[in-house]
Structure 1
Amino acid sequence: MFPISSELIFKVALRSEALLTLPRWNKGTAFTKEERKSFGLTGRIPSRVNTLDEQCDRAYDQLRSVDSPIRMNSFLQSLKEQNWVLYYSLLSRHLKELTPIIYTPTEAEAIANYSHLFRRSEGLFLTFSDQDSMEEDFLEQTRGREIELIVCTDAEAILGIGDQGVGGIGISTAKSVIYTLMVGINPSKALSVTLDVGTDNETLLNDRLYVGWPSRRVRGVEYDKFIDKFVQLIRKYQPHCLLHFEDFGVTNAQRLLELYRNEHSVFNDDIQGTGAVTLAALMAAVGVTKSKLADQRYVIFGAGSAGLGITTQVRDAIMLADGVSREEANKKFYLVDRFGLIKQSLGPDKIRAALQEFVRPDEEWAGVLTNDAGEVELLEVVRKAQPTVLIGCSTKGGAFTERVVKAMKKGCERPIILPLSNPSKLVEVDPKDANDWTEGMALLATGSPFPPAKMPNGKDYVIAECNNALIYPGLGFGAVLSQSRQMTDGMIIAGARRLAALSPALKDPDSGLLPDFQDAPAANFEVAIAVAEQAFDEGIQGVSWSKEEVRTKAEEKQWKPVYGRYEYDDHGAK
């Protein structure tokens, strides 16, 4: 798949056992006869020289003999610890099949069992109780390295399974792997971090094998000081890297993003990545219906980090693309959470500060049926608001009932329904049912993969997977490529617009609203180009070359999982 480049030559100072134990440099049985002699490997490896293709075939055969996803995850983790090129090459060849093994949903199980599966550390662990040595610990891992990407988590809201303490390092490393797979971020220039501020997970606190700091979560001022100390170290020592926040809790995610996004190139995938890929699906959908984002009425079911991120991302796009004021754009959204519709009479104890812009006035809902608690539930919101777009990020499986979907269909010809909750058992509606209940008129995308649905005419309707991995690596790579000082709303919208332009549905309405996941690397590359070009347009790039060189520079920068030729150099590895 990836040919060996005759120009890929590395000067390497390592020899013998040291070379075989570092996954960045190890080739296993692919070391040539000449390399084996030069590096003292003759006799350490069986005689036959294998190609990378042969190694991938062997590894894939071994993987297929494993009997469960979590064991496959462990096998692949072990492979990564042995040989980076083989690991990434294998994943690239079986991208659609293996991404769910090394990422969601299987990685959630690996994280939940992190302390019991623990074999070898990976990444950087910064612990609240050891914060006096944070700078020293950070520099020990990064000194002399050019870091382009830092993915960090405090592990309070991991992949739908909540607080996982120190096991959150698994989501940081998984996200870093996706960046490499999709856009070619060099794994040696990525750093995965867990910010261990304790855990409120009783199971972990009572587990004698738990490997993290066995303390209740630190919150408030002390938490903020700890996070700020970490961010300031990055700004001081790695000023051009992208800082990716992942799976922070709802009380901190948006707040930290707003606090630092004007100081550094900061990105939160749960908020901005989810918002961006959903925006791309919506842009594709309105392209099919020949309408505009500003023409829609939006009901967002689930007002946590993801729901709010989607709302603000789409709102900002409406303002930018359709010239609508912020106030008018806000009025197009109806947010529903566990207290029902977000409206004035809920009171401040039930409405987070970040939701204030989207609070509906009570007078709008006079006479609307409420439950015993006086809350307006989803069905009544749909009946009253007559949305054209219904988005679910609630993890409330089956919440989009037949009555809800049919009530929506009464108000518009082609309802846009995006049940995005993961995993599939938590999806708000099975897309097959939504398709049937709307007589094949719904435009659908889901957060988990689903098979095609049958249209009334017998054709298959492809259900797009609204997966963040279709866009966040491209957003990040665009920022890294341009060394932008910020990740701006304009850059994110430019990336979403480029992804939407790749929608198969624009050519065939029965095709998916987003590219197939197998095409995610090509899609992300185009997203990265759009993001970097937008950084130039906004004048926030930190590179000396021109906008016209973006595509060439992007191609040159991508790391590929191929073996180069090694030459021994006792003055140091390069």
Structure 2
Amino acid sequence: MESTMKEMRDGASVLDFDSKSTVEGGVEDVYGEDRATEDQLVTPWTISVASGYCLLRDPRHNKGLAFTEKERDAHYLRGLLPPAVISQQLQEKKLMNSIRQYEVPLQKYVAMMELERNERLFYKLLIDNVEELLPVVYTPTVGEACQKYGSIFRRPQGLYISLKEKGKILEVLKNWPERSIQVIVVTDGERILGLGDLGCQGMGIPVGKLALYTALGGIRPSACLPITVDVGTNNEQLLKDEFYIGLRQRRATGQEYAELLDEFMSAVKQNYGEKVLIQFEDFANHNAFELLAKYGTTHLVFNDDIQGTASVVLAGVVAALKLIGGTLAEHRFLFLGAGEAGTGIAELIALEISKQTKAPVEETRKKICLVDSKGLIVSSRKDSLQHFKKPWAHEHEPVNNLLDAVKVIKPTILIGSSGVGRTFTKEVIEAMASFNEKPLILALSNPTSQSECTAEEAYTWSKGRAIFASGSPFDPFEYNGKVFVPGQANNAYIFPGFGLGLVISGAIRVHDDMLLAASEALAKQVTEENFEKGLIYPPFSNIRKISANIAANVAAKAYELGVATRLPRPQNLVKCAESCMYTPVYRNYR
């Protein structure tokens, strides 16, 4: 190896590395293809990287002013940088000062995205300041970024596969420079957050999600691939927008749509193998359920809107039992919203109750009622319901609106996933508080403008008795001298650790029991100190530790179910997860 390095052409930048053939804990990987982090990879550091001017424009290897005097001489950088040499820590401090000067969140988002010229500094910033920057690179700011993506578009990020590429998707995948991909996040842009059809501009979502896979879950950036499948858009405003970057046509549907997606899924498996995780993101309800059902038995697939949301909400509910009392089976649940998020959460809660009580899931579903735009979902509506709503059509008199449903069903837990803002009205919250000492109110719709109610409204209308969490972040609120800290039921708690668990176990399929395992691991991370503030989720400042614990629990379940391919199983899965995490500190050049 050393002799090979010495034989390299003069002027090529070479990085020091520690040769490792195994990840701590016994996960062996001869080729280095499936490692979660490039810090355990040998291959990239045995070859030359760019030098001089090109090195400064290579995001993965650029260090900016952190290049030492010796490195500047060795790699033809002298004169290409100002004379000062500063540390990564000082670079981070300078950039955070700069980002904090912006008052408009979208400006902060653009500033962060421009940091892609220095990949390690971007992730160092995000990891060290996760609570402050998460709302910038993800919910809620990413929603506005997608709406204005055509205007703020600087350079291509990720891979765009449109109807023009039909019949040659495998060739398109081969155009991506990385060969060893572990996680793909793909969207068709039809249902971006609560904002609707944003077409090709939905790319902001896969890009943002994968930044979190790296920052929060430790999956190396080069193993992540954001993809937008562009089948057109039905958004008239975008079709007329001269800056729109996607196909200018109405959405393809039916057979044309199904054939493109089928070709895409086959090409991904052919190009990246059985163990690549494909995360479906922000597909419309009618496609989301079908794609998950169709490919769940043949690919390693995960739908964050259905499964990730369900897992994070279940974790919050389980943790909240410490505050509201009782077992899961003793509570009554009412949902506003019966789309992919609502029905996904409801099903996972029913599965967990079934697991705890040994009752059939058909029975445990009866503890959960759903309200959609036409009122309570009841058996008399069954013939007109979409297939994913039918399991929730219980024997009950029709109820036309949420307030009446709350009064009739008297739920202990109210969950909003409707995508419609301000639907948890004063009357609804007051009704919840009238028959619950501590009503659990979860207003999950994103972005902030679509939240069913604000933290202030929930606390004020319940006279400070509500336990509240939301999908978008809200500031702490003081009521009657007590400061309430609202929790955020953010999928970012779950999917990065979940993905890491699949990677370290080499899982080839996702199973519902893995989602339950992720929820249980997250719920256990909530401390007494958190509960005292009314929190049902731990602070994001500990997210890497949380992700490692989730990954370990998910991996353990994969081994138990027989879908793990990494053998032998590591003795300590938490240590294994931590040792596999990407760290964004600069590498040394020689």
TM-score, structure 2 as length reference: 0.89
Change in CA separation of 1:92 and 1:307 when aligned onto 2, cut-off 3 Å = same
Give the counterpart letter for 1:481 in structure 2. Answer: I
1:78 aligned to 2:114? yes
**1:379-413 C-alpha deviation (Å, 9 max, x unpaired):** 11111111111101113333222322232334333
User: Which letter does structure 2 place at the counterpart of 1:559?
Assistant: Y
Which residue number corresponds to residue 331 of structure 1?
366
Indicate whether 1:102 and 2:137 are aligned: yes
Is residue 381–residue 393 contact of structure 2 (8 Å, CA) maintained in 1?
A: no
**CA spacing shift, 1:510–1:48, aligned 2, 3 Å:** closer
Q: Distance in 1 between matches of 2:286 and 2:259?
A: 16
Distance 2:473 2:225 in 1: 29
Structure 2 counterpart of 1:166, one-letter code: C
Per-residue CA shift, 1:136-169, capped at 9, x if unaligned?
1111215x62111111100000121111111111
Is residue 2:184 matched to residue 1:150?
yes
2:12 corresponds to: none
State how 1:241-252 maps to structure 2 within 5 Å. Answer: 241-252=276-287
- Pairwise CA distance, 1:508: 3.8
Residue in structure 2 matched with residue 427 of structure 1 by the alignment: 451
Equivalent runs, 1:211-230 vs 2, <5 Å:
211-230=245-264
- Deviations along 1:68-112, whole A, 9 cap, x unmatched? 2212211211111x1001111112222111111111211112211
Corresponding letter in the other structure for 2:442: L
Aligned residue runs from structure 1 range 404-415, under 5 A: 404-415=428-439
Aligned residue for 1:236? Answer: 270
- In structure 2, relative to structure 1, the CA distance for the partners of 1:34 and 1:510 (3 Å cut) is closer
Alignment of 1:13-52 (within 5 A): 13-52=49-88
Deviations 1:459-505 (A, max 9, x none): 32321111111111111111111111111111111110111111235
Distance in 1 (CA, whole Å) between partners of 2:578 and 2:489 is 26
Residues in 2 aligned to 1:475 and 1:444: alpha-carbon distance in whole angstroms: 25
The structural deviation recorded for 1:48 is 2.4
Pairing 1:6-405 to 2, within 5 Å after superposition: 7=18, 10-11=45-46, 12-80=48-116, 82-141=117-176, 145-238=179-272, 239-346=274-381, 348-349=383-384, 351-361=385-395, 364-365=396-397, 375-405=399-429
CA distance in structure 1 between the partners assigned to 2:100 and 2:430 by the alignment? 43
Give the match for residue 542 of structure 2. Answer: 519
Once residues 306 and 402 of structure 1 are traced to their aligned partners in structure 2, the CA distance between those partners, rounded to angstroms, is: 24
Q: Return the letter of the residue paired with 1:107.
A: V
Contact 1:533/1:547 (8 A) holds in 2: no
Q: For residue 404 of structure 1, what is the amino acid of its counterpart? A: V
The amino acid that maps onto 2:426 is E
Deviation at 1:22, TM superposition (A): 1.1
Residue 539 (str. 1) matches residue 568 (str. 2) = no
Three-state SS of the structure 2 residue aligned to 1:158 is: coil
- Find the residue that maps to 1:237 and give its secondary structure: helix
Residue of 438, 443, 446 corresponding to 2:462:
438
1:505, 1:75 → 2: CA distance? 37
Runs of 5+ consecutive residues of structure 2 not aligned to the other structure: 1-14, 19-38
- 2:166 is paired with a residue whose SS is helix
Write the deviation string for residues 177-231 of structure 1: whole angstroms up to 9, x where unpaired: 0111101110011111000111111011112232211111011111111111111
Q: Aligned partners of 1:461 and 1:488: how far apart in 2?
A: 36
- Segment of structure 1 superposing worse, 398-407 or 243-252: 398-407
Change (3 A) 1:33 1:6: farther
Number of matched pairs: 550
Paired AA for residue 136 in structure 2: I
CA RMSD of aligned residues (A): 2.1
Following TM superposition, by how much is the alpha carbon of 1:60 offset from its aligned partner in structure 2, in angstroms? 2.1
Partner Cα distance (2:446, 2:49) in 1: 46
Indicate the SS of the match to 1:109: helix
Distance 1:122 1:57 in 2: 26
Q: How far off is 1:453 after superposition? A: 4.1
Q: Secondary structure at the match of 1:267?
A: strand
Q: Which deviations, in whole Å up to 9, do the C-alpha atoms of 1:404-451 show, x marking residues without a partner?
A: 223233433332211112233332223333334434332221122223
Counterpart-to-counterpart distance in 2, 1:405 and 1:72: 35
Aligned-partner SS, 1:300: strand
Aligned pairs (5 A) from 1:449-468: 449-454=473-478, 458-468=481-491
The corresponding residue for 2:492 is 469
> Are 1:505 and 1:511, in contact at CA under 8 Å, matched by a contact in 2?
no
Structure 1 510/41 Cα, relative in aligned 2: closer, same or farther at 3 Å?
Answer: closer
Gapped runs of 5+ residues in structure 1?
A: 568-574
Indicate the percent of aligned positions where both proteins have the same amino acid: 36
**Letter of the aligned partner of 1:17 in structure 2?**
Y
TM-aligned CA distance change 1:209 to 1:443, over 3 Å: closer
Taking the aligned partners of 2:475 and 2:98, their CA distance within structure 1 comes to: 28
> What is the rounded CA distance, in whole Å, between the counterparts of 1:455 and 1:71 in structure 2?
33
C-alpha distance in 2, partners of 1:348/1:327? 19
Matches of 2:574 and 2:524, distance apart in 1: 18
Deviation of 1:454 (Å): 4.2
Q: Which residue of 2 aligns with 1:572?
A: none
Aligned to 1:570: none
- SS of residue matched to 1:310: helix
Q: Is the 8 A contact 1:241 1:483 kept in 2?
A: no
Alpha-carbon distance in 2 for matches of 1:475, 1:251: 25
Contact preservation (8 Å) 1:505, 1:512? no
